[in-house]
Amino acid sequence: MLLTRDRVREIDRRAVEEFGMTVGQLMENAGRNVAEVLEFLNAEGGRVVVVCGKGNNGGDGFVIARHLDAAGIPVTVLDYSGGAGGDAGRNREIARKCGFPVLAPTALEAASHFAEASWIADALFGVGLTRAISAA
């Protein structure tokens, strides 16, 4: 089944409104599951770079990084969250306390991290994005 943006938003809405899950629980589940897939695909244990944006998708990314680190996989977070709040901000602060690199690099610095990565996890934009993507 193809999950469209609208379908994913409806699933999230129902999980929170009808089933009583918190956004934090959804974030933890999403991040843990992506980390498990990356562990499987990254059998050689190469470095994973997780690129985190502002919203809940960025929060998912911080969770991904934490679970990868706990599994012994080297991880670096490129943090473009701009000091996100809420559940995403809490997961950002948890990630910062874990001890793996959480950086806010320039584009040139980010390119060097990408070059060293075996895998890149994109947690920049999620289903809430309603604007055109730009370089700014």
pLDDT tens digit sequence for 80-121: 998 778 999 999 999 999 999 999 999 899 999 999 999 999
| Exposed / middle / buried, residue 129 (Cβ in 10 Å: 0-12, 13-18, 19+) | middle
- Give residues with Cβ within 8 angstroms of 131, minimum separation 6: none
Among residues 26, 38, 88, the alpha carbon closest in space to that of 68 is found at 38
Question: Residue 129: what pLDDT?
Answer: 77
Residue 46: the pLDDT is: 96
pLDDT at 3: 86
Q: Does pLDDT of 136 surpass 70?
A: no
At 11, the pLDDT band (50, 70, 90 cuts) reads very high
pTM to 2 decimals? 0.91
Structural fold of domain 5-123: Rossmann fold (3.40.50)
Query: Could you report how far apart the first and last alpha carbons of the chain are, in Å?
Result: 34
What percent of the chain is predicted at pLDDT more than 90? 80
Domain boundary assignment for the chain: 5-123
